[in-house]
A and B are shown apart, each in its own frame.
Chain A
Amino acid sequence: MIELTGVHKSFGSVEVLRGIDLTARAGTVTVILGPSGSGKSTLLRCINHLEKVDRGTVRVDGELIGYRQTGDRLHELGERQILRQRAGIGFVFQNFNLFPHLTALQNVAEAQISALGRYKGVANERAHELLGLVGLGDRAGAYPRQLSGGQQQRVAIARALALDPKLILFDEPTSALDPELVGEVLDVLHALARAGTTMIVVTHEIGFAREAADTVVFMDSGRIVEQGPPHEVLDNPRHERTRAFLSKVLV
């Protein structure tokens, strides 16, 4: 279970997150919608401590992320502990961020070896299995630049899955793709959702939210405007700002 309470974050004088409370149960899919600049990506990056929160707490399965609590004080964890926590939280980037000098297989195997301490043989076997799962079993030896955008993003998803994370965060996973490649990535996301993976997805794909989400969250200017099951938020939005946003997106 993921639990965010009162999360605040500023970049300089710009307040990007202004008190976010959010809960996501294990095995559910949460889709975050909202106009650009509403703080969606920052929120996602706060969950795995790529950004430090200024106030508030993030807990994954009850474990405080990035800090250790003693009394009413939060002590920031050391680099090593933060890295250990991150290994339990998958992250898929908008721009894939695959390691260009490593093959698809090495990309998926690397963190298994260095973060989880798996043997190389075990890691490679698991990497082969996961590349098969995302439909790239035959491209294990290809370098990222030899793959299409959609294929690269599928490798990135396999890379995130390889650490057997409790939760996977997706930061606009289809936004950098050509329209005809969006489908192949969404298919993988659908399959993961059906398999009961805990996911938090920032996206503009309303169709995906409608079909796969358990909870849809609408954010604007650093706050959660409304949240609920897709048929409520998408079809009967209570809030004026949600309605205005959806009317622009659902042309």
Chain B
Amino acid sequence: MTLLIPQRPKEADGELVVVPARHPWRWAGAALVLVLLAQFVHGLATNPGWDWPTFFGYFLEESVVEALLLTVELTLAGAVLGFLGGIPLAAMRLSPNPVLSAVSWTFIWVFRSVPLLVQLLFWANLGYLYETLQVGVPFGPGWSFPTVNLISSFGAALLGLALHEAAYAGEVIRAGLLSVDQGQHEAAAALGIPKWRQFRRIVLPQAMRAILPNAANLLISLLKSTSMVYILAIGELFYQVQVIYGRNGRVVPLLMVATVWYVILTALLSILQYYTERHFARGALRTLPPTPFQRLKAALRR
């Protein structure tokens, strides 16, 4: 079952002919899987329960697209804030200062422990716990604001997502930094390269190799976690399809609308992941393998 066409063995000059081994069970296995797959696709097309006309009617409907944009917004803002929070968390956790390390450990422990859904409800009810929030000099003068004005339900959702994300991102970044060989730190130190530059130019690019696959996992998981903020009545994708099927009762096709959009967004993120990983693979592989596009182009040229 190889895609490459093997060259015809030479027979002319009396050499022995090599006959590749046959694999009949591979063919049988492939045939079985293809039959099952065809059955499934046939079911998708013919079962009226999927209700494709409704699906297509709502797929690009204005309220759905608006909700989709809000989902993307929540994902991106949550990821940016989460990773910005994760960097100091990782740095603190790796710090020789026991206070910083313990604070970071505790933060990560707490925010990985509390389920996101529970956390979101906490943030939404912050105004009940603290009626006003104050900014100012510790134990000194300050300015206070009513909590309800300061934290909207969107703000609560973003806060919850970002803090949740930061706890995980901190660990992902720490894992990446730990994966860089001690010899690299030593070589950079022995050359007298300034500390910040050591981090940015020597350690981080190598750590990125280990950070990226996990970070992509985290980002994709965050994309889907945004569906949980429906609990705060924020009009993101999942909330919006619920509103629509609450009105017209077409549950399955509308869930499919949300599902297909999540699949598309995940596909886009996966492509982004592929090319970012490739960028940071410089020097790690002797030669980079061709991208799927390059492979396709090469196959067509033949």
Contact surface of A with B, Cβ cutoff 8 Å: 48, 50, 79-80, 83-89, 91, 93, 95, 97-103, 110-111, 114-115, 143-146, 159-160, 163
Contacts and interface: CB of A to CB of B under 8 A. Distances in A.
A44 B187 CA distance: 14
B247 interface: no
Contacts, number: 80
A145 B202 contact: no
A83 B194 contact: yes
B88 interface: no
A143 B287 CA distance: 10
B183 interface: yes
Contacts of B202: 99, 110
A146 B282 CA distance: 11
B279 to A, nearest CB: 11
Contact of A143 (B187, B195, B205, B282): B282
B284 A101 contact: yes
Contacts of B194: 80, 83, 114-115
A110 B286 contact: no
B192 A143 contact: no
A101 B191 contact: no
Given A102-B283, A110-B193, 4 more contacts: A86-B192, A88-B192, A97-B187, A101-B205
Contact of B193 (A85, A114, A146): A114
Nearest to B197: A114
Given A93-B183, A110-B201, A114-B201, A100 B190 contact: no
B192 A145 contact: no
A102 B193 CA distance: 15
Interface in B117-132: none
Contacts of B285: 145
B186 A163 contact: no
Contact of B284 (A95, A100, A159): A100
